[in-house]
């Protein structure tokens, strides 16, 4: 499902949407998102030794469970009110439609991306990014765009900048869990993908001649202990593609009866992107009752086509 379709889904009153609120215990400042979330991510800069409290509320949760996970880990932190991760610094509280993740006594190793999502595979999700204070000597990501928008055929640069990388290695992977690169070596076998390392901190991924299959999420990872990650969402600037869909509204009629000499309008309503070619055929019945095409008309789209004769 594309991001634009997800956005439409979340705005529908009968579907799920996530409201994510979190605060740092030292400041007690609350940040909330009341509008439908679009995977842009929320960034927090924290103070070491304090607790982080991340509360995730999923409206209309029903029988689903709220899942908390860290992108760099292969398994979730919690499912519903059950903590799965063995690390004792995590605590989970589940009440109704809200599941709260508490990370005790933050340290540099806690920097990273934490995802709250509804179970079921197609539910909404949101990402919280915990950053360390500027000036840290630990390996960390510099702040860059987390959402890039481009059109088919264009070239896009997915930013990833790493400070104090030392002897660490940078790896890129996509949302299909395919490894795209390690250091500056491309591994996908697709020459459209290239690691840009023009400065000391830059480890960005360039993608040329964008295809429909390229849109999605890409994660830049550094093999620190624990691994740190930075996810960039690549979205299509054009409307979502879909095949022509016939709209049988009140104006749609399969059969019309008119008198000779009258003017008749034949109407065909449909939606499609990109614009589709429409063909109208005029047919007649031969002596054996068989339909045969005798003429053809070509049109370039649109949502309504009217032919008068």
Q: What is the pLDDT of residues 63-95, one digit of tens each?
A: 888 999 988 888 899 999 999 998 899 999 999
More confident residue, 48 or 186: 186
| pLDDT at position 304 over 90 | no
Q: Which distant-in-sequence residues (6+ apart) come within 8 Å of 122 by Cβ?
A: 1
Long-range CB pairs of 139-143, under 8 A, 24+ apart, other chains included: 139/163, 139/164, 139/165, 139/166, 139/168, 139/222, 139/224, 139/228, 140/108, 140/111, 140/164, 140/228, 141/220, 141/222, 141/228, 141/230, 142/201, 143/43
Among 240, 262, 283, residue at a domain's last position: 240
Residue 296's beta-bridge partner residues? 281
Q: pLDDT-derived band of residue 45, with 50, 70 and 90 as boundaries? A: low
The pLDDT, as a whole number, for residue 308 is 37
Among 133, 165, 184, residue at a domain's last position: 133
Q: pLDDT-derived band of residue 121, with 50, 70 and 90 as boundaries? A: low
| Terminal-residue alpha carbon distance, the chain | 43
State the Cα–Cα distance between residues 100 and 80, nearest whole angstrom: 10
What domain range includes position 209?
139-240
Which has the closest alpha carbon to 209: 233, 196, 191? 191
The pLDDT, as a whole number, for residue 147 is 92
**Alpha carbon of residue 192 to chain centroid:** 21
What is the tally of structural domains in the chain?
A: 3
pLDDT, average across residues 256-278? 76
We report the CATH number of the domain holding residue 53 as 2.60.40.10
Residue 103 and residue 149 in one domain: no
State the Cα–Cα distance between residues 258 and 201, nearest whole angstrom: 74
More confident residue, 181 or 265: 181
pLDDT, average across residues 33-53? 57
The pLDDT, as a whole number, for residue 90 is 94
Residue 231 and residue 250 in one domain: no
Q: pLDDT-derived band of residue 53, with 50, 70 and 90 as boundaries? A: confident
| pLDDT at position 284 over 50 | yes
Share of the chain above pLDDT 70, in %: 70
Residue 242's beta-bridge partner residues? 273
Residue 9 and residue 93 in one domain: yes
Phi-psi region of 207 (alpha: psi -120 to 50; beta: other; left: phi over 0): beta
pLDDT, average across residues 191-217? 95
Task: Please tell me the least confidently modeled range out of 22-31, 175-184, 209-218, 278-287.
Answer: 22-31
Residue 190 and residue 294 in one domain: no
| pLDDT at position 26 over 60 | no
The bridge status of strand 42-45 relative to strand 125-131 is: parallel
- Average pLDDT over the chain reads 75
Residue 145 and residue 127 in one domain: no
3-state secondary structure of 109: helix
Residue 35 and residue 106 in one domain: yes
| pLDDT at position 239 over 90 | no
pLDDT, average across residues 49-71? 85
Which tokens go with 114?
Answer: 């934490």
The pLDDT, as a whole number, for residue 149 is 95
Task: Please tell me the least confidently modeled range out of 136-140, 205-209, 224-228.
Answer: 136-140
Contact indicator for 16, 7 with CB cutoff of 8 Å: no
| pLDDT at position 236 over 50 | yes
The pLDDT, as a whole number, for residue 20 is 45
Residue 58 and residue 152 in one domain: no
φ and ψ of 269, to 5 deg: -105, 130
pLDDT, average across residues 42-52? 70
| pLDDT at position 222 over 80 | yes
Residue 210 and residue 153 in one domain: yes
Residue 25 and residue 107 in one domain: yes
Residue 161 and residue 268 in one domain: no
State the Cα–Cα distance between residues 266 and 263, nearest whole angstrom: 10
Which tokens go with 31?
Answer: 């940040």
In this structure, the chain runs to a length of: 309
Residue 98 and residue 204 in one domain: no
Among 225, 240, 255, residue at a domain's last position: 240
The pLDDT, as a whole number, for residue 39 is 40
The pLDDT, as a whole number, for residue 232 is 93
Residue 49 and residue 24 in one domain: yes
| pLDDT at position 191 over 60 | yes
């Amino acid at each position: 499902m594309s991001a634009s379709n997800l956005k439409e889904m979340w705005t529908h009153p009968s579907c799920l949407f996530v409201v994510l609120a979190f605060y740092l215990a030292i400041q007690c400042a609350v940040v909330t998102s009341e509008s439908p979330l679009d995977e842009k991510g929320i960034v927090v800069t924290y103070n070491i030794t304090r607790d982080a409290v991340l509360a995730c509320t999923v409206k209309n949760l029903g029988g689903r469970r709220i899942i908390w996970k860290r992108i760099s880990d292969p398994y979730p932190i919690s499912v519903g009110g059950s903590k799965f991760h063995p690390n004792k610094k995590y605590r989970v509280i589940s009440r109704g439609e809200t599941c709260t993740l508490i990370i005790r006594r933050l340290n540099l190793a806690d920097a990273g991306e934490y995802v709250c999502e509804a179970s079921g595979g197609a539910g909404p999700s949101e990402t919280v990014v915990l950053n360390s204070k500027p000036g840290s000597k630990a390996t960390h990501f510099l702040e860059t765009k987390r959402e890039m928008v481009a059109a088919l055929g264009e070239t896009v640069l997915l930013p990833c900048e790493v400070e104090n990388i030392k002897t660490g290695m940078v790896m890129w992977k996509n949302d299909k869990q395919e490894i795209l690169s390690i250091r500056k070596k491309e591994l996908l076998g697709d020459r459209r993908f290239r690691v840009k390392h023009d400065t000391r901190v830059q480890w960005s991924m360039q993608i040329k001649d964008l295809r429909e299959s390229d849109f999605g999420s890409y994660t830049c990872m550094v093999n620190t202990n624990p691994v740190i990650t930075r996810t960039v969402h690549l979205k299509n600037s054009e409307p979502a593609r879909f095949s022509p869909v016939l709209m049988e509204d009140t104006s749609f009629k399969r059969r019309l009866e008119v008198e000779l000499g009258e003017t008749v309008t034949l109407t065909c309503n449909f939606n499609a992107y990109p614009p589709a070619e429409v063909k109208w055929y005029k047919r007649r019945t031969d002596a054996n009752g068989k339909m045969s095409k005798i003429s053809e008309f070509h049109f370039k789209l649109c949502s309504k086509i009217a032919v008068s004769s």
